[in-house]
Structure 1
Amino acid sequence: MSMDIKEIAEQYGTPLYVYDFDYIEERYNSLKDAFAGKKSLINYAVKANSNLSVIAHLAKLGAGADCVSIGEVKRALSAGVSKYQIIFSGVGKRDDEIKAALEYDILLINLESEAEMKRVEMVAKALGKEARISIRVNPNIDPQTHPYISTGLHENKFGVEIEMAKRMYIYAKKSEFLNPVGIHFHIGSQLTKLEPIAEACGIVADLVRSLKAIDIDIKFFDVGGGIGVVYDDEKTISPQAYTDAIFQATKGLDVTILCEPGRYMVANAGVFLTKVLYEKVNEDKRFVIVDGAMNDLIRPSLYNAYHRIEAVAKEGEKTPADVVGPVCESGDFFGKNVPLPALEHNDLIAVHSAGAYGFTMSSNYNTRPKPAEVAIQGDKVKLIRKRETYEDQVRLELECMEESAK
């Protein structure tokens, strides 16, 4: 980021999320260039960072959207994503969500079970519509990532096995209200090795060939997302190596490749800024207590995830400290044994790589307001979400209290 984040923190307050939109554009273009010359569509995974301005920025670049709730579908449409570039995924979809997706006429609905297929067929029949569907296949490949973000093994809740997928495709082909146009897989998030992706692509591509042999014409080959990013010292997958593996697996197939990057686009575009309240020492244990908390950025507590932490514009000898927040939980920390100089009230701390699964996983635990969000593009800084107030948090409750008092 070229802008002075200390000035930004002074202007907009802390805790605060700051996103570099130029970086997001670079990431999108790196993937788009790697797909050059092939039929493809990059569907940004909205769950990673669902701010409307982030989605709109990517939509202007040509991105579609991968959504896992009807709320995310509505966000994508509101942000200017074409309906024919929107995918609706997710393990559990309510009937009203399926109905809305069909009425919005989005590109396709990803199915995760036979039971879900029957519900989609029933809703489509009631509407007198044909549902364009894709089936999420579980290739049973170990993605070699954190178990909480692994999704491609039989022990995970996602997708169906190969033989079940075949039966579902045959059923859908015969149905008057289902149109099986795609196939989908996603083996996990934060993938740093190419081999599991290539292996999964090969398994699913072979399934497509067998389906085409029985006249089931798969048009969309959705490889999911999951390309890893650098939080610490990870070796990651290059966009070109990624697309080369996909092209090799799908050689000879006339399909449009869909991919669903989220973290890859936005993780390292974001920084979380928080101010020091004070330091505390228990015997020989040093704590730096800040105004941000686990309700603002839960990844360290939830996954024991590493985020690089630095003191902004502060020099001096560094000693280990736990960076912790005000929430009444032992899990309320951003980092443990982080080398930091001596810090004083209002010194600024930057938590890096916070653009993905930061604000979107935030909460109001302890009745804490959600942070503001700011975007940097070129030499301009703009507020893209106002800081929440107490009144914002209790509005719906007060309305109910007022109604019941009548």
Structure 2
Amino acid sequence: MNPTQLLDLVAKYESPLYVYDSEVIQHQYERLDKAFQNVKNVKINYAVKALSTLSILSFIHKLGAGMDTVSIQEIQLALKAGVDPADIIYTPNGVSLAEIEDAAQLGVQINIDNLSILEQFGTRHPKTPVCIRINPHVMAGGNTNISVGHIDSKFGISIHQLPHVK
């Protein structure tokens, strides 16, 4: 959109106003998709927490993206946007076993990042496949406040705990 179009929208709808350009979103998605075109089995997942507007979720899904969620509420938004449960991955952090079981009942992919929860879920649901989030203990991102793979991060099962994963 050009500045004149944006000013026309502000005149019509007033300010503040959020405007999302579907052509730009599609272009960025296609750039990302093209960057990984030679990698087998790549699935682009959009982080619902980034922008959870239903029309945007639906649009991005129609481009081919799955949805990455961290809460039951985000799962419900993705479902409401028309996303198939098989295209939703759920990676909670610090939630109850009951919430993870609720997500499993919705048919989404479960990604567990806690060894204790993994053991409990596996005992109660031995036939339900899950993914695990591994903490590789690698410092990246330049600062511990934004890095999620360092040894003190709350995210992921420690790489040193992997022998306990069955």
TM (norm. structure 1) is 0.38
Matched, 1:56 2:58: yes
1:82 corresponds in structure 2 to: 84
With over 3 angstroms needed to count, the CA separation of the structure-2 counterparts of 1:80 and 1:63, relative to structure 1, is same
1:152 corresponds in structure 2 to: 149
Percent identity, aligned pairs only, is 35
84, 103, 106: which is aligned to 1:104? 106
With over 3 angstroms needed to count, the CA separation of the structure-2 counterparts of 1:4 and 1:102, relative to structure 1, is same
State the Cα deviation string for residues 251-296 of structure 1 (Å, max 9, x = none): xxxxxxxxxxxxxxxxxxxxxxxxxxxxxxxxxxxxxxxxxxxxxx
1:115 corresponds in structure 2 to: 116
Gapped regions of structure 1 (runs ≥ 5): 171-406
Distance 2:37 2:157 in 1: 31
Gapped regions of structure 2 (runs ≥ 5): none
Matched, 1:138 2:139: no
Shift of 1:59: 0.7
Distance 2:98 2:159 in 1: 29
Shift of 1:146: 4.6
- Contact 2:137/2:159 (<8 A) preserved: no
Distance 1:151 1:140 in 2: 9
Query: Which aligned segments of 4 or more residues in structure 1 are displaced greater than 6 angstroms?
Result: none
- Contact 2:97/2:117 (<8 A) preserved: no
Distance 2:138 2:121 in 1: 28
1:381 corresponds in structure 2 to: none
State the Cα deviation string for residues 165-223 of structure 1 (Å, max 9, x = none): 2311x2xxxxxxxxxxxxxxxxxxxxxxxxxxxxxxxxxxxxxxxxxxxxxxxxxxxxx
Distance 1:97 1:13 in 2: 40
- Contact 2:68/2:89 (<8 A) preserved: yes
Distance 1:11 1:144 in 2: 42
- SS in structure 2 at match of 1:156: coil
The count of corresponding residues between Structure 1 and Structure 2 is 164
Distance 1:50 1:63 in 2: 14
Distance 2:71 2:152 in 1: 23
- SS in structure 2 at match of 1:115: helix
Amino acid at match of 1:12: Y
Shift of 1:88: 0.4
Amino acid at match of 1:96: A
* Bigger radius of gyration: 1
- SS in structure 2 at match of 1:44: strand
- SS in structure 1 at match of 2:140: coil
Name the structure where strand makes up a greater proportion of residues. Answer: 1
Distance 1:123 1:96 in 2: 11
- SS in structure 2 at match of 1:87: strand
Shift of 1:34: 1.9
Amino acid at match of 1:20: D
Name the structure where helix makes up a greater proportion of residues. Answer: 2
- Contact 1:135/1:165 (<8 A) preserved: no
Amino acid at match of 2:163: K
TM (norm. structure 2) is 0.88
* Structure with larger RCO (C-alpha < 8 A, sep 6+): 1
- SS in structure 2 at match of 1:105: coil
